[in-house]
Amino acid sequence: MRNWPYAAALLQDRAESQVAGKFAIAPLPTAPGGSSTGVLGGSQLAINVNSDHPRAAYAVITYLLQPEQMRERAQMVGQYPPRVTLYQDNTLPGALAVPPEQVRRMIEQAILRPITPVYAELSEILQIQLHRALTRQQEPADALAGAATAMRELLEKVGLASDARDEQRR
């Protein structure tokens, strides 16, 4: 399960979960010589350019970015703080469903998600094709080739294909 942070506490609830005490989180496996990594992203704070109250919105963002508020959200709703330093000050143990040191190591090894206006669409294509490979509906090589083709077609459709080729050359 890749999106474990929101589910870890639910899965450990012995009154509600049949897998409580029977699972753990771990870094993603790697090929020999590779290094484990994950991706960061999915939780952004922004102010709409058309907002009638940009100063108030900025005040809310400033409040939410305070370390004390991040700790409180970790304790109250299990939201994992994005700041590595909060995992080092010994105030998170017991606030999260998994050991903070383990989460800190994963955050330090993570990379940013690719920046593209069609990330959700590209991700959906890849998810579908990976599902087909993992459930043996298709051979892995065929599923990945299908994903590559569909992703290239999408990038061409939205006018980003040359950007993708330039990125591959780098």
Nearby residues of 170 by Cβ (< 8 Å), 6 or more positions away: none
In sequence order, which ranges of the chain are alpha helices (DSSP H)? 8-11, 54-64, 67-77, 100-109, 119-134, 140-157, 161-169
78 Cα distance to chain centroid: 15
pLDDT class for 82, splitting at 50, 70, 90?
confident
Q: Answer whether residue 164 shows pLDDT above 50.
A: no
Distances (CA, A) of 14 to 4, 70, 120: 17, 26, 34
Q: Where are the domains of the chain?
A: 8-112, 119-169
Per-residue pLDDT, 127:
96
Mean model confidence pLDDT for the chain: 87
Task: Please choose, from the candidates 76, 3, 8, the residue with its C-alpha nearest in 3D space to the C-alpha of residue 41.
Answer: 3
The pTM assigned to this predicted structure is 0.64
Per-residue pLDDT, 4:
80
pLDDT class for 104, splitting at 50, 70, 90?
confident
Q: Answer whether residue 170 shows pLDDT above 60.
A: no
